[in-house]
Structure 1
Amino acid sequence: MREWRAMVARYRTPLSILAVLVLIALGFVAMQQLTRELHFSQVRAALHAVSAWQIILSIAFTALSYLTLTGYDVLALRIIGRPLRWRIAALASFTSYTLSHNLGLSLLTGGSARYRIYTANGLDGPDVARVIGIASATFWSGVVTVAAVALLARPGPIDLAGLTIPAAASHAVAAIILVVVAALVMLCGGAKGPLRVWRLSVPLPSAGQALSQIALAVLDTSAAAAALFVLVQGADPALLPAFILAYALGIVAAVLAHVPGGIGVFEAVVMAVLPGDRSIAFAALIAYRVIYYLLPLAVAVAILAWREGVRRRHLLDTPFSARLIRDGRAVANGIAPLALSTATFMGGAMLLLSDSLPSLHARMGVLVAIVPLPFIEASHIAASLVGTGLLLLAPGLYRRLDGAFVATRALLLAGAAFSLAKGIDYEEAIACLTLAAMLQWTRGAFYRRSALTQVRLSAGWFSAVLVVLAAAVWIGLFAYRRVPYADDLWWHFALKGDAPRFLRGMLAATVALIAGLAWWWMGPAPTVPDDQPVDPATLDRPLALADRTDAMLVHTGDKRMLFDDSGDAMLMYQIRGASWIVMGDPVGDAAAWPDLLWRIRDLADQAQGRLLLYQVTNRVLELAIGMGLHIVKYGEEAIIDLPDFTLDTPRLRSLRKSERAAARRGLSFRIVPAAAVAVVIDELEAISREWMDDKGHAEKGFSLGHFARDYMERFDVALVMEGERIVAFANLWLTDNHAEASVDLMRHRNDAPHGTMDYLFVHIIQWAQQRGYQRFSLGIAPLSGISGRRLAPAWARAASLVFNHGERLYGFRGLRSYKEKFAPRWEPRYIAGPKGIALVRALRDLSRLIGRAPAAS
């Protein structure tokens, strides 16, 4: 089972793409079967028959649906006890649903939009997750309730793609659904506490709030269904129950299929269930896609682009120091790049789909009098290539790449020109020019100077591109199904040669897509600083100024170094995935720390990475906040002030007794200088291996040392001897300026006498005290000192819970209790990084770094 899970995890991306490909194929095969008797002329005639009043009514119901959708978020915010102004909730809801409706990828698009808006207004990640969860529950409650009511209202049996369901069975299912919904409302009213989903606590609504949720969802679903129903030419009101049922089933199928935008799946289910003329239904579905999906998307993109442009121009009028901080936050919180990347993707889809449809012959007659036929043919292929390019550039806009911005703007201008040159499609030209203007207005949002080959194409983006290409191919095959295929079609050039133009355009788009993906996959890896060995001499200056012993981690060999221009300061970091993880405070001259931290921030940002500062102290907090990083307390470090240390105090009574008992058993203490460690290294290695085998541990890395001969021989080593036999050891970390001493690896034999480690620590501390060191670090107690009070942040409550009840996972409390024996003072240590899911991913990469020690030498 473990091997199977590992294989699935390893091939998750190709398996996801394969699953989407299968679903896309099934959807379009179903559409092909459902429309096999239809012809393009019938659908076009049905579209032309849609009146202006039908369109106005559809737009009105669409507006009502989206207005009701904003109530989902308003109510969810009240349920979790974090109400916001309606306009904020409305903006989050509207942009979230418009983006996710069109692209699918709800976590990437809709969830990301909500997260950026709500976190900018004081909510944290878990709060946003609660809002999304409650809004999703509201949506599903409306869908199932509307479907159940439609089932009850339908008098006869249901014919679903050849499967007949008796009326009695459908009525029984509907009644059960309504009883379950009523029971859930009553359960919410009688609940005594929140619902716990994994580690997330979700407040349950009251009975009144639950009824409000259902009422909102029913109104939304009904309005959305009505927006489609009024577009069906000559629709009989008696068919309304069947129509609502078809609509609800189509929505469910589209969501469960996870096909981007539900394209093909939604249409296939609605046409399979809905009785009547399928050409009229198909035409209504096409118009519905434009009105309910694309029109709100255009409005949302325009709103977000305008807000982004206004905000950035306002920032330019502020003082530089304030602008530096505010601009960083604006970039982090802005969602215009997300919206514009979605709009760019849809623009590319528009050009591809347009090239699959027959041209308007009246316009072509005018065009051919202006430009020659070869130019028209070339423009048609060029428009297909532009559309494919826009699909591939959309992820670059999402990543805020300046190169993607320049290339997209150029392609949009070219797309407008080619749209006019291939058939006077001025509607497409206006859309391209409008989108180019929006990009120009928000140009400051695309600031990352990074190669386009470094854009990471996710399975979601790739699936969306495949959906568009598949839709374009299917629409072309549907439009020209009366044209018999022949090899010479590829070389047929004529004013009315729409089918040959479709074949050539799709071939060009497919070749361009394959070439683009090959360019991405076979291109150079993301640009990162060279991981080259550091000259030991360059380390001497910053290490000489170090006042913390964790600077010795520079010798573990698993980190990169970034030096300031003078060479008096450095920081240690490593790159794992998209995470740039800095280990501890910078080392050396504190005056150079701000420059170092801003440099690593810029490097990570240019590489589209996320920066994480790990185990930093109070000295870095102000800088981290100014860099726009989110601060999380990691734990506390135990510090002993050596000038005042003495065993002869009541607080150290138990430690004193343990040390003296170990001494009576014949133990002795010895320091081996670094130059002489090679003499005892074989015995130390045997002890280390015995200790590791007994504990079942593996060597760690990054934030901890590891047993390697070249590493151990750099440091003095403290030994506990039983006669002439070594029973325990620890290598010493010592700063040159005698500011701090500590230990790294601490290992002992399985048969070491009781109290051996207490004896070792006491004598190391006394040895360091005698040599004038100012403090001794006992290391960090993770998750220690974090308050888990009711009003504390969610991460703090979770950390407190793990600290107090997670002893089986890791000895958090036991580790702190052991350090408490030395009566230390506790200093806080922090993690500074991105917010939300990005922080979780960075911590995942950090755990992988720590869990993998460099190869021993």
Structure 2
Amino acid sequence: MHEARVWLTRHRTALSLVMVLVLIALGFAAMQQLTRELHFSHIRAALHALTPWQIAASLLFTALSYLTLTGYDVLALRIIGRPLPWRVAALASFTSYTLSHNLGLSLLTGGSARYRIYTAAGLDGPDVARVIGIASATFWSGVVTVASVALLARSGPIELAGVAIPAAVSHAIAATILVLIAAIIMLCGNARGPLRLWRLSVPLPTIPQALAQIALAVLDTGTAAAALFVLVHGAAPALLPAFILAYALGIVAAVLAHVPGGIGVFEAVVLAVLPGDRSIAFAALIAYRVIYYLLPLAVAVAILAWREGLRRRHLLNHPLSSRLLRDGRAVANGIAPLALSAATFMGGAMLLLSGSLPSLHARLGALASIVPLPFIEASHIAGSLVGTGLLLLAPGLYRRLDGAFVATRALLLAGAAFSLAKGIDYEEAIACLTLAAMLQWTRGAFYRRTALTQIRWSAGWLSAVLVVLAAAVWIGLFAYRRVPYEDDLWWQFALRGDAPRFLRGTLAATVALFAALVWRWMSPPQAPEPRAFEPAALLRVLASADRTDAMLAMIDDKRLLFSESCAAMLMYQVRGASWIVMGDPVGSRDDWPELLWRIRDKADQAQGRLMLYQVTGPVLELAIGMGLHVIKYGEEAIIDLPDFTLDTPRLRSVRKAERAAARRGLSFRIVPAAAVPVVLDELAAISNEWMAAKGHAEKSFSLGHFSRDYMQRFDVALVMEGERIAAFANLWLTENHAEASVDLMRHRDDAPHGTMDFLFVNILQWAKDRGYQRFSLGIAPLSGISGRRLAPAWARAASLVFHHGERFYGFRGLRSYKEKFAPRWEPRYIAGPKGITMIRTLRDLSRLIGHAPAVS
């Protein structure tokens, strides 16, 4: 079972991609079956039959639907007790839904837009999650209610996939659902507290608020369905219940299938359920995609691009803006890159789909009198290749890569030219030029100087690309259904040879996409930066260290970044997309701001997320200034050595254990680093025995690990049982005698009771006698974090784990042991990104620490 779980985790991305491909294939297979009697000429005639009044009515209902959608967020913000101005909620709602409607991947697209807008308005990550959850519940309540009412209003049976559901059964199902909705409303009104979902508490609405949610959702679903209904030419009012049922089922199927944008799935369900002429319904669905999906996306992108450009130009005139703009942070939190990324993706889809459709013969004839046929043929293939390139570059815009910006702008200009050269498609050319202009207007948002070869293509994004390619292929096969496909069709070049041009363009796009994926997957991973520095520079900085954890720089599992003056450095490592800095910078504090900002910029340029791990108070102001979210990690146990003495009541148990161990014949010895090789074999045997007994693996990054090279760099404290070593610990000592500490502490299985207490007491006394000022007993994770009712969600979760997670890790036991030595506790912090990104970074941190290095 464990091996199966590991295999599923390792291949999760591939399995997700395969599942989406299967769903795409099923959706388009259903579309092929449902439209087998239709022809492209029928669809084109139905589209041309749409009247201006139908289009105007659809636009009106679309506007009402999106206006109602803004009420989802307004009501959700009131339910959680964090109301915001309507314009903020409207912007978040509108951009979120336009992105998720077109691309799917609602958490990545719509959730990201909401998060950026609401956090800028003062909400935190849990608040945004609550808003998204309540808005989703509102949406589903409306869809379910509308579908149930439509079921009750339908008098006849329902046929789905060849199965007839009797009216009595469908009525009983609908009535049951409506009763359940009423019961849920009553439960919400009588609830005494918030709903707890994992570690997130979600306030429940009152009865009036719940009724308002359903009313909003019903109005939204009704207006959205009406925007499609008015496009169905000749639709009678008597058809409305069946139509609403078909629409609701299509929405449910599209969401559950997780196909990006629901393309194919939504249309297949609506065509399967809706009676009447399918050519008229199919034409209405095409027009509906443009009016309800693409047009709002274009409006949202234009609004966001305009706002982003205005903000940038305002900052250009601000006297303090030069550094901000140079580093790109002035626009880093904007959502224009996300919107422009979505628009670029849709632009690529437009060019691919255009290459699958027949040309307008009147325009093509006029073009042929100006340019030769080979030029038209080449432009058609080039247009499909440009569309494929835009699909692949869109993730780079989302990550704000300057290379993606330059390449996308060039492709859009080329796409406009090829659109004109392949058939005077000036509508496409205008769309490409408009998008290029918006990119240019917001060019300051694309500031990361990263190679295009490092663009990450997630499974969700690849799924969206494959949906577009599948749609282009299906549309082409549908449009040229009457064309006999023969081998020589590939080589037919004629002015009206639309089918051969479709085949060649699709083949070129498929080959280009496949080649890009193979090249990307076969490219070697980015090599880690070498530890290129002068050893003398490292020793100079370590000589000025005030903290012993600076000795972690001696381990080869980290990268080092030195300040310009080489008077300070910091340790860090990259795991996945996370750049994790270990502890405070080391050396001159005057150089700390320079170092932290440099690592912040390096992480940002590499599309990474920065975390400062186990930092102390002096770093917090800098971390907050860099825009990082600070949380408490735990507390470090510190003993002030000048005041240390065993003759105190608080150390009674330690004193008793130490003296009992001494009576058993244990003795203490310090082995200088130069003499460690003499005892190294015995230390290795003790270490292996201790590791096997504990069932632990070697750690890294925040701790040392046993290796011969590492152990020979430090003095080692030994507990001797006669002539045999019973326990050992390697010593971390600062040259200025500011602090002493230990790293690895290991003992034999049969070591006498109290051995480790004996070891610590003697190390403390030895360090005190040599003038060290303080001794660090290390950190107690999650210690000292208050879990009060009004504390942040992360603090309550940490407190819960500290008090009840003993079976997973000895949090309280570790603190209790260190408490025996009567230390004072100093807080340690983590500073990193907010929200779900912090969770991902913590996951990378745990993998970095738990990685077992090669032992030498």
- Relative to the length of structure 2, the TM-score reads 0.97
Q: Distance in 1 between matches of 2:490 and 2:372?
A: 19
TM alignment of 1:516-665, pairs within 5 A: 516-526=516-526, 530-532=529-531, 536-665=535-664
Q: Distance in 1 between matches of 2:719 and 2:380?
A: 82
State whether residues 557 and 854 of structure 1, in contact with CA within 8 Å, keep that contact through their aligned partners in structure 2.
no
Shift of 1:263: 0.4
| 1:32-61 per-position Cα deviation (integer Å, ceiling 9, x unaligned) | 110110011111111111111111111111
Report the equivalent of 2:753: 754
Report the equivalent of 1:690: 689
Secondary structure of 1:333's counterpart equals coil
> For residue 164 of structure 2, what is the amino acid of its counterpart?
T
Q: Distance in 2 between matches of 1:236 and 1:2?
A: 58
Report the equivalent of 1:354: 354
Q: Distance in 2 between matches of 1:234 and 1:750?
A: 87
> For residue 696 of structure 2, what is the amino acid of its counterpart?
H
State whether residues 328 and 628 of structure 1, in contact with CA within 8 Å, keep that contact through their aligned partners in structure 2.
no
Q: Distance in 1 between matches of 2:187 and 2:808?
A: 35
State whether residues 402 and 448 of structure 2, in contact with CA within 8 Å, keep that contact through their aligned partners in structure 1.
yes
Shift of 1:788: 2.1
Shift of 1:369: 2.3
Report the equivalent of 2:407: 407
TM alignment of 1:458-477, pairs within 5 A: 458-477=458-477
Shift of 1:637: 0.9
Q: Distance in 2 between matches of 1:27 and 1:459?
A: 19
Secondary structure of 2:235's counterpart equals coil
Shift of 1:378: 1.8
State whether residues 450 and 607 of structure 1, in contact with CA within 8 Å, keep that contact through their aligned partners in structure 2.
yes
Secondary structure of 1:581's counterpart equals strand
| 1:572-629 per-position Cα deviation (integer Å, ceiling 9, x unaligned) | 1111111111111122222222222222222222221111111111222222222222
Report the equivalent of 1:267: 267
TM alignment of 1:469-488, pairs within 5 A: 469-488=469-488
* 1:801/1:52 CA distance change after superposition, 3 Å: same
1:393 is aligned to 2:390: no
Q: Distance in 2 between matches of 1:630 and 1:694?
A: 39
1:443 is aligned to 2:449: no
Shift of 1:751: 2.9
1:133 is aligned to 2:140: no
Q: Distance in 1 between matches of 2:82 and 2:326?
A: 24
Report the equivalent of 2:377: 377
Secondary structure of 2:638's counterpart equals strand
* 1:229/1:140 CA distance change after superposition, 3 Å: same
Q: Identity over aligned residues, as a percent?
A: 84
| 1:694-723 per-position Cα deviation (integer Å, ceiling 9, x unaligned) | 222221111011122221121111122233
Report the equivalent of 2:190: 190
Shift of 1:138: 1.1
* 1:305/1:13 CA distance change after superposition, 3 Å: same
State whether residues 361 and 496 of structure 2, in contact with CA within 8 Å, keep that contact through their aligned partners in structure 1.
yes
| 1:541-562 per-position Cα deviation (integer Å, ceiling 9, x unaligned) | 1111111100111222211222
Report the equivalent of 1:276: 276
Shift of 1:524: 4.5
TM alignment of 1:204-219, pairs within 5 A: 204-219=204-219
> For residue 73 of structure 2, what is the amino acid of its counterpart?
D
State whether residues 332 and 445 of structure 2, in contact with CA within 8 Å, keep that contact through their aligned partners in structure 1.
no
Q: Distance in 2 between matches of 1:337 and 1:610?
A: 17
Shift of 1:568: 2.8
State whether residues 315 and 323 of structure 1, in contact with CA within 8 Å, keep that contact through their aligned partners in structure 2.
no
> For residue 233 of structure 2, what is the amino acid of its counterpart?
Q
Q: Distance in 2 between matches of 1:254 and 1:16?
A: 16
Q: Distance in 1 between matches of 2:726 and 2:511?
A: 69
Report the equivalent of 1:286: 286
> For residue 651 of structure 2, what is the amino acid of its counterpart?
L
Q: Distance in 2 between matches of 1:534 and 1:298?
A: 51
* 1:706/1:767 CA distance change after superposition, 3 Å: same
Report the equivalent of 1:11: 11
1:428 is aligned to 2:428: yes
Q: Distance in 1 between matches of 2:644 and 2:303?
A: 64
Shift of 1:660: 2.7
Q: Distance in 2 between matches of 1:161 and 1:697?
A: 56
State whether residues 777 and 818 of structure 2, in contact with CA within 8 Å, keep that contact through their aligned partners in structure 1.
yes
Report the equivalent of 2:26: 26
> For residue 283 of structure 1, what is the amino acid of its counterpart?
A
State whether residues 43 and 279 of structure 1, in contact with CA within 8 Å, keep that contact through their aligned partners in structure 2.
yes
Report the equivalent of 1:839: 838
Shift of 1:176: 0.9
Q: Distance in 2 between matches of 1:393 and 1:38?
A: 36
Shift of 1:666: 3.0
Q: Distance in 1 between matches of 2:853 and 2:530?
A: 14
Q: Distance in 2 between matches of 1:561 and 1:550?
A: 14
Report the equivalent of 2:666: 667
* 1:529/1:752 CA distance change after superposition, 3 Å: closer
Q: Distance in 1 between matches of 2:500 and 2:666?
A: 92
| 1:381-434 per-position Cα deviation (integer Å, ceiling 9, x unaligned) | 111111111111101111111011011111111111111121111111111111
State whether residues 349 and 387 of structure 2, in contact with CA within 8 Å, keep that contact through their aligned partners in structure 1.
yes
Unaligned 5+ segments in structure 1 are none
> For residue 473 of structure 2, what is the amino acid of its counterpart?
V
- Relative to the length of structure 1, the TM-score reads 0.97
State whether residues 454 and 525 of structure 1, in contact with CA within 8 Å, keep that contact through their aligned partners in structure 2.
no
State whether residues 50 and 233 of structure 1, in contact with CA within 8 Å, keep that contact through their aligned partners in structure 2.
yes
Q: Distance in 2 between matches of 1:752 and 1:190?
A: 61
The root-mean-square deviation of aligned C-alpha atoms, in Å, is 1.7
> For residue 572 of structure 2, what is the amino acid of its counterpart?
Y
Shift of 1:233: 0.2
Q: Distance in 2 between matches of 1:782 and 1:414?
A: 56
State whether residues 412 and 432 of structure 1, in contact with CA within 8 Å, keep that contact through their aligned partners in structure 2.
yes
1:301 is aligned to 2:304: no
Q: Distance in 2 between matches of 1:521 and 1:325?
A: 34
| 1:110-145 per-position Cα deviation (integer Å, ceiling 9, x unaligned) | 111111111111222222111111111111111111
Secondary structure of 1:829's counterpart equals strand
* 1:567/1:330 CA distance change after superposition, 3 Å: closer
Secondary structure of 2:107's counterpart equals coil
Secondary structure of 2:574's counterpart equals strand
State whether residues 329 and 628 of structure 1, in contact with CA within 8 Å, keep that contact through their aligned partners in structure 2.
no
Shift of 1:247: 0.5
| 1:819-856 per-position Cα deviation (integer Å, ceiling 9, x unaligned) | 22222222111111122222211111111111123211
> For residue 483 of structure 2, what is the amino acid of its counterpart?
V
Shift of 1:62: 0.9
State whether residues 733 and 744 of structure 1, in contact with CA within 8 Å, keep that contact through their aligned partners in structure 2.
yes
State whether residues 453 and 519 of structure 1, in contact with CA within 8 Å, keep that contact through their aligned partners in structure 2.
no
Secondary structure of 2:753's counterpart equals coil
Shift of 1:15: 1.2
* 1:202/1:578 CA distance change after superposition, 3 Å: same
Report the equivalent of 1:492: 492
State whether residues 316 and 322 of structure 2, in contact with CA within 8 Å, keep that contact through their aligned partners in structure 1.
no
Secondary structure of 2:630's counterpart equals strand
Q: Distance in 2 between matches of 1:382 and 1:694?
A: 66
Secondary structure of 2:540's counterpart equals helix
State whether residues 659 and 755 of structure 1, in contact with CA within 8 Å, keep that contact through their aligned partners in structure 2.
yes
Q: Distance in 1 between matches of 2:111 and 2:73?
A: 12
State whether residues 316 and 323 of structure 1, in contact with CA within 8 Å, keep that contact through their aligned partners in structure 2.
no
Shift of 1:761: 1.3
Q: Distance in 1 between matches of 2:65 and 2:330?
A: 30
Shift of 1:322: 8.4
Shift of 1:327: 7.1
Report the equivalent of 2:151: 151
1:324 is aligned to 2:321: no
